Structure 1
Amino acid sequence: MLLEPIDCPSCNSTNIVKHGKSTERKQRYKCRNLDCSRSTFILRYSYLDHLPEVKQRISEMAINGSGIRDTARVLKISSTTVIELRTRGIRRCWRLRLRWRRLRLNQLLNALIELLQLDFEKLQLFEMSLDQKAMMFSYPACKSFI
């Protein structure tokens, strides 16, 4: 029996364990590397559209202005698959944009809160100084100067 070493396609780690079977009865593997962006994978996919390289190629061809039918013909996959993967990519892009905007908004709000807290502290110091001046003029000895 010959054992074939298996590497993770994303991080090239050899810390791999079996992780059940897919719906097509193919062996699924799991990468145990915590820094890996891809947790499970299959060595030989039945459909080409599941390969990360094909997804990357679809997005590259879309950026270069290739049409849906042209992309499907070159990659030898269905045009419906190309449309589905493109819209999925667009949704993912919008989600990333929304996350980025929320992050930027949170950073701006935190900066504004810090600024307001500083202004509030300055206002409190100013009020304290006014209170001290008012107390200074409230003594009976100081009333003769008023």
Structure 2
Amino acid sequence: MMRSILGFIAGYITLAVIVMIGFLAGMFILGVDRVLQPESYDASMLWVLTALGITVIAAIAGGIVCQLIARSRNASIVLAVTLLVLGAAMGFAQPQPTNERPARPADQSTMEVLKAIKEVGREPLFTRITNPIGGAIGVLAGALLVKKMKLRDLDEGLHIP
């Protein structure tokens, strides 16, 4: 039971850290003008797809860590369901900004843009569904990768704890 709890916690922390680093790196690599639509604080489709990719990659890593520590499929399933439920709840609890949003000035610094995004920015509504689903699928895929690696290694006579 303790291994399952530790696996769940370690998997979630792994996922969260990779998402934070990935989002920060993605913002700076793509730049504000590719992350946001022109003269707007709305997310571009490039950013929406990038964010989904980061989420899935982070979730796969979280699923791998969870499965390796917990050694139980149940811990990975609980992590996937938790991501699905929390992600959907946070997405739908988040109020949609009003239609009266200011235009984005061209001379804003990155930090000013990030602050403004928090206040008036928005992503398409479908991301409130796709991101939690991508996270849940990623966790299950990561756990499955560990299981397949263990089966392959057993066939080859190797042992993974």
Q: Same fold (TM over 0.5)?
A: no
- When you count helix as a share of all residues, which structure comes out higher? 2
Where relative contact order (Cα < 8 A, 6+ residues apart) is larger, the structure is 2
Please say which structure displays the higher CA radius of gyration. 1
- TM-score relative to the length of structure 2: 0.27
